[in-house]
Amino acid sequence: MGFFSKSPARPDTPADPRIEFKVQPRARRISLKMDNARRRMIVNAPSERQMPAARRFARDKADWIAVHLEALPPAQPFEKGGYVMYQGAPALIVSPPGRGRPRFEPATEHSPAKLIVPAPPDALDGRVRRFLIKQAREAVTQCTQYHAEQLGVTVSKITVRDTSSRWGSCAPGGVISYSWRLICAPPFVLDYVCAHEVAHIIEANHSRAFWDLLDTLVDTVKPAKKWLNTNGAKLHAVGANF
């Protein structure tokens, strides 16, 4: 049981999908940048004219690129018989025939946790993703409303997206947005992120007053932050194919 997938192509192959070439007019020179959230190595060139040189540069740095790409957690594609992280633990994707309602079955003494998602093979990826987004929306909404009641504040809108740089954000007026991938993290981590964003309605900063306020809502600030720092890349591996 684990998060394993087929080995991806080496980064020096011509069609390696893990390497992305981009024109960045503000760049002064050709450069490499690892995008952990998108699981890609970005090769930046100042202009289209310098793109051939950028490709040669990437070939010259193939070993360095390989080290960084292979350090990423294995992809967790949405495929029948595969495992993905759900609420902090691996769950087996089971896809019986038909169009029944997707559901989650917790692990038992004799059986692993399961995401049971009826779907034809060509629709499984989309159905699993939509199920996880739905579960995330329900979980963050319930958690956010609870913490808002604790502080006596109003949350005007909650959205769930596939963000790459933040697990949550709070805009003026009590508009809060979350990454759907939080449903793949342990519940205490999701709870921490929701409390964090609700606290920003009162303290729109990261001052001492903010952290003191957050401590009145949850007692898991340090372990939750540590978990995200250590395992955040695994959340972005959920649903990835390479």
Domain coordinates in residue numbering, the chain: 19-70, 125-237
Contact of 131 with 115, CB cutoff 8 Å: yes
Percent of the chain with pLDDT over 90: 87
Count of C-beta atoms within a 10 Å radius of residue 98:
8
Identify the DSSP state of 217.
T
Q: Output the pLDDT for position 7.
A: 40
Confidence (pLDDT) at 21: 95
CA 21 – CA 231 distance, rounded (Å):
27
pLDDT in tens, 117-171: 999 999 999 999 999 999 999 999 999 999 999 999 999 999 999 998 899 999 9
CATH of 125-237, one of 3.60.10.10, 1.10.3720.10, 3.40.50.300, 3.30.2010.10: 3.30.2010.10
Query: Apex CA 115: angle with CA 114 and CA 121, to 5°?
Result: 125
Geometric angle at alpha carbon 91, from 90 and 95, rounded to 5°: 150
Task: Write out pLDDT tens, residues 25-68.
Answer: 998 999 999 998 889 999 999 999 999 999 999 999 999 999 99
